[in-house]
Amino acid sequence: MNDVVFIFDPELSAYQLADSHPFKPIRLDLTRSLLRETGLLTDDQETRPDPFDERKLSRLHHKAYIRAVKATSKGKSHPDAFGYGLGTGDNPIFPGMHDISTKICAATVTAVDQVASGKARRAANFAGGLHHALSNRASGFCIYNDLALGIDHAIQEYGLRVAYLDIDAHHGDGVQWLFYDSAFVMTISLHESGRYLFPGTGHTYEVGKGPGRGLSVNMPLEPFTEDDSFEEVFELVVPKALEAFRPDLIVLQAGADMHRYDPLADLALSLQAMKASYQRVCELADHLCEGKLVVTGGGGYDPYRTVPRAWAHLWACLNDHAVPEALPESWRQEWQERIPEALPSNSLDDLNSWQAVPRRDEIASHNRVVAERLMSTLVQIWQEDRS
């Protein structure tokens, strides 16, 4: 048994929506290179994605939509492309779109399979995390929903109950809606409120339906939420929800766009708080499901300074190690001429250089009240279901 597995294939970095698009796959190569240079990633930990049966796509995605993705990927016109979310500013059509999107799905399914089968205790696919893709539409830079396919694999092949935890700045809407009425999946999302940020969902009243009632858990955060408030509401919501559900496996979507530097969202977390959340998820997995944990990437639009450091901390947490305070000069020299920004020299943020956020106490108070009301509602549903 390899304790922690890193799913890797050079083709995973080919998810290039457009040269000017904010979703930049170079962040994957920067992350892997940083892990290599720090000695945190070894040859024996890397695993290629297993072959993927494309028929599995149609378990969650409509066949007509898949046909549209395939056609447009080959440069063919499709009369309903725009209706399927293809060819928009968020989701431009690019050559090989179907093949590389499928490869990302294969990588996440492989990560899930490694853990569910007992071959590994933890696994990571940082190319994954495309949580906005819907059953019949591309959305928010996401073509196919690799996370939902991985979760479905765990259910269908292993009969597992899966807790999906999403700490991306954007609500994990695609995964939520695909399992909204499932008794086998709990979705938990901490995100900037949909009143201000795409996709406009993730409200506290979205609690699931039918057999899934009470299993959709949404904690919308106020813009400019900082470390202390995020950590407070995380503790108010996540451990209690996971304890109530008692999962066999936890899947974490660890988008890095909740960081203060991210240009596409308005949360104000530091790498220190992000690292603490990763450590806490590992602790919860150890406590609740024998450490069975799969992690993916996701958002993250400060691709040079923030994303590689965030995901390096996540990988280190999976391995019960730590990223060195000083980043290797060899890593910075390798990449500096190829990117437009100066790479950081330290693994964590210099918090002394950050200005305080106005309305800090008001924001924290609002988040606290929302978290307490959310849990009051959910506890009542859970108690009703047990009675």
Q: Which residues are catalytic?
A: 132
Contact 158, 117 (CB under 8 A): yes
Residue written as tokens 């901490």? 190
Residue with structure tokens 């995020």? 230
Return the HEC string of the chain: CCCEEEECCHHHHHCCCCCCCCCCCHHHHHHHHHHHHCCCCCHHHEECCCCCCHHHHHHCCCHHHHHHHHHHHCCCCCCCCHHHCCCCCCCCCCCCHHHHHHHHHHHHHHHHHHHHCCCCCEEEECCCCCCCCECCECECCECCCHHHHHHHHHHHHHCCCEEEEECCCCCCHHHHHHCCCCCCEEEEEEEECCCCCCCCCCCCCCCCCHHHCCCEEEEEECCCCCHHHHHHHHHHHHHHHHHHHCCCEEEEECCCCCECCCCCCCCCECHHHHHHHHHHHHHHHHHHHCCCEEEECCCCCCCCCCHHHHHHHHHHHHCCCCCCCECCHHHHHHHHCCCCCCCCCECCCCHHHCCCCCCHHHHHHHHHHHHHHHHHHHHHHHHHHHC
Q: Which of 167, 303, 169 is nearest to 224 (CA)?
A: 169
End-to-end CA distance of the chain: 41
Single-letter code of the amino acid located at 335: W
- 166 beta partners: 189, 253
CA distance 296 to 105: 11
Q: Nearest 5°: CA angle at 17, between 168 and 80?
A: 100
